[in-house]
């Protein structure tokens, strides 16, 4: 397992090779001074050399922080920042376009989703789109078959339910809305063409409102503070949220403070319309994902590391390094992207657990797209804690295995293959067991028949039996 130190040394050597001009200018300045050259010329050469030399370690540290997501005490969030509860999750994604004036805001269920294409400009370097938080080059194209519930969206009129198939570019931050299966869309009637047959009605056209879809899907949490100061959690109350969106749409938008709408800050008429929704019929929470998620699962086609039980450095393990779970509280889009995911400004809550102190850290992290597609299920992230407890490294292979990007399997000593349930409770203790024993498993298959697994085989099987996963075992040939 290559740690932050190894990444930093590698970047330092690379920066030294590419920045040799700085030390060279210092050498030239020294030689010129020794030979009595003009002091102005000597000072100019020395200044250039000093700046170039200082930039070598600075650029190496910046490159290492980008490539290796490491959290330290210096990343601690300001206490003056927004206070988020343990279940809060805020996503600041690019706003959708205004849409047609006569459009109706309705719900659509995703029946099927298929990967079409993804053509980023680069596969390795960071790309910054100045002034553009939503470039089309970094959005995968997804084929969607939607069932649109076009009723009650405009003066109570009934427009019916219909299905439509579209290819759309999905912002990476909003991929989980597709997997969850609930979207907020605008429906407008396309104008009739001169060639259309007589008597034919207008064909509906749709456009997806991606930030509102994250709310409707339940990925982003939502709470409402009423006029009486009472706080109500409306996350995954899809009917009420859709009505709230219509109120917001009619007045040109309502700002959310984190994941909260405070009616006391709204105009009297808008606040009264919001408050009236609280007195409507009761509503149970919608499911985390609509039925048929297997027809919308795209993680196998999206870029990002596959899930793995994880590699372990023996020195790190023996000196007291350990794993800890953290949780994303906020993700905010930036103008910088990589091929396998966007660079996001995040707020991560670490601990307290296993002796790790509580820490809310603000850190810019490149988040893989295959993880973003499952944000409605989990916001957990696995961190490797340094032996001295002063820094935390984001471990995406372990995080993706825990999130369910890759199915985890265990091959028993007698040759049976056990497929663990997605997001199984056994995964986390298994990862900790292997990390504590300095056992590396680079993939998602834990083969206990290997000689190096003999020391942990019994403990692994005990954990697996505790979850009941060994009931549906398949014997390998």
Q: Report how far residue 321's alpha carbon sits from residue 325's, in angstroms, rounded to the nearest whole number.
A: 14
Q: What is the pLDDT of residues 222-231, one digit of tens each?
A: 999 999 999 9
- In 3D, which of 146, 124, 126 has the Cα closest to residue 207? 146
Tell which wins on pLDDT, 20 or 214.
214
Q: Is the pLDDT of residue 194 over 60?
A: no
Q: Is the pLDDT of residue 147 over 70?
A: yes
pLDDT reported for residue 275: 92
| Overall average pLDDT of the 300-322 stretch | 91
pLDDT reported for residue 103: 85
CA 431, 435, 440, 446 torsion: positive or negative? negative
What the block records as the tokens of 280 is 């409507």
pLDDT reported for residue 169: 94
pLDDT reported for residue 153: 45
Q: Report how far residue 449's alpha carbon sits from residue 415's, in angstroms, rounded to the nearest whole number.
A: 7
Tell which wins on pLDDT, 55 or 393.
393
Q: Is the pLDDT of residue 60 over 70?
A: no
Q: How confident is the model at residue 177 (pLDDT cuts 50, 70, 90)?
A: very high
Alpha helices in 189-331 (DSSP H): 210-217, 238-250, 268-277, 314-318
Q: Is the pLDDT of residue 290 over 80?
A: yes
pLDDT reported for residue 258: 87
Q: How confident is the model at residue 197 (pLDDT cuts 50, 70, 90)?
A: low
| Overall average pLDDT of the 151-167 stretch | 69
Q: Report how far residue 92's alpha carbon sits from residue 331's, in angstroms, rounded to the nearest whole number.
A: 6
Q: What's the pTM value of the predicted model, to 2 decimals? A: 0.85
Q: How far is CA 216 from the centre of its chain?
A: 17
- In 3D, which of 64, 66, 48 has the Cα closest to residue 344? 66
On whether the CB atoms of residues 317 and 38 are closer than 8 A, the answer is no
Q: How confident is the model at residue 154 (pLDDT cuts 50, 70, 90)?
A: very low
Q: What is the pLDDT of residues 318-365, one digit of tens each?
A: 888 889 999 999 999 999 998 899 999 999 999 777 677 788 999 999
pLDDT reported for residue 472: 56
On whether the CB atoms of residues 420 and 464 are closer than 8 A, the answer is yes
On whether the CB atoms of residues 401 and 411 are closer than 8 A, the answer is no
pLDDT reported for residue 1: 44
Tell which wins on pLDDT, 224 or 84.
224
- In 3D, which of 311, 476, 275 has the Cα closest to residue 397? 311
Element (H, E) at 213: helix 210-217
Q: Is the pLDDT of residue 3 over 90?
A: no
pLDDT reported for residue 465: 86
Q: What is the pLDDT of residues 371-416, one digit of tens each?
A: 999 999 999 999 999 888 888 999 999 999 999 999 999 999 988 8
Q: Is the pLDDT of residue 266 over 90?
A: yes
Q: Report how far residue 290's alpha carbon sits from residue 407's, in angstroms, rounded to the nearest whole number.
A: 20
- In 3D, which of 290, 103, 113, 335 has the Cα closest to residue 205? 103
On whether the CB atoms of residues 357 and 331 are closer than 8 A, the answer is no
Average pLDDT score over the chain: 86
């Amino acid at each position: 397992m290559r740690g932050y130190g190894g990444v930093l040394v590698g970047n330092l050597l690379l920066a030294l090779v590419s920045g040799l001009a700085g030390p060279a200018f210092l050498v030239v300045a020294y030689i010129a001074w020794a030979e009595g050259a003009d002091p102005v010329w000597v000072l100019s050469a020395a200044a250039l050399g000093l700046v170039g030399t200082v930039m070598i370690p600075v650029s190496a540290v910046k490159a290492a922080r980008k490539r290796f997501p490491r959290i330290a005490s210096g990343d601690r969030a300001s206490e003056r920042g927004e206070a988020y509860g343990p279940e809060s999750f805020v996503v600041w994604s690019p706003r959708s376009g205004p849409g047609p004036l006569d459009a109706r805001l309705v719900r659509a269920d995703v029946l099927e989703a298929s990967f079409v294409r993804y053509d980023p400009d680069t596969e390795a370097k960071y790309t910054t789109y100045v002034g553009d938080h939503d470039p089309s080059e970094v959005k995968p194209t997804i084929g969607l078959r939607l069932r649109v519930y076009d009723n009650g969206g405009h003066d109570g009129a009934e427009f019916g339910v219909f299905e439509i198939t579209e290819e759309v570019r999905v912002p990476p931050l909003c991929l989980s809305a597709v997997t969850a299966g609930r979207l907020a869309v605008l429906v407008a009637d396309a104008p009739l063409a001169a060639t259309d047959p007589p008597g034919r009605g207008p064909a509906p056209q749709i456009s997806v409102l991606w930030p509102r879809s994250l709310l409707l899907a339940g990925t982003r949490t939502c709470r409402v503070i009423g006029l009486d100061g009472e706080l109500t959690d409306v996350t995954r109350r899809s009917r009420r949220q859709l009505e709230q969106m219509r109120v917001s749409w009619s007045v040109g938008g309502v700002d959310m403070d984190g994941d909260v709408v405070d009616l006391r800050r709204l105009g009297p008429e808008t606040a009264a319309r919001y408050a009236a929704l609280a007195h409507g019929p009761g509503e149970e929470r919608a499911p985390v994902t609509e039925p048929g998620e297997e027809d919308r699962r795209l993680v196998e086609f999206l870029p990002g590391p596959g899930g793995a039980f994880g590699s372990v450095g023996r020195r790190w393990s023996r000196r007291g390094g350990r794993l800890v779970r953290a949780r994303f509280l906020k993700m905010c889009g930036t103008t910088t992207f990589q091929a396998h995911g966007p660079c996001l400004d995040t707020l991560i809550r670490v601990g307290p657990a296993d002796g790790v102190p509580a820490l809310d850290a603000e850190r810019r992290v490149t988040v893989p797209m295959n993880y973003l597609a499952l944000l409605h299920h989990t916001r957990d992230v696995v961190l490797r804690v340094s032996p001295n407890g002063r820094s935390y490294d984001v471990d995406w292979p372990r995080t993706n295995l825990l999130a369910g990007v890759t199915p985890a399997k265990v091959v028993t000593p007698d040759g049976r293959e056990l497929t663990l349930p997605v997001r199984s409770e056994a995964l986390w203790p298994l990862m900790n067991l292997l990390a504590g024993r300095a056992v590396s498993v680079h993939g998602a298959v834990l083969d206990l028949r290997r000689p190096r697994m003999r020391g942990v085989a019994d403990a692994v099987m005990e954990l697996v039996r505790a979850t009941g996963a060994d009931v549906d075992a398949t014997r390998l040939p």
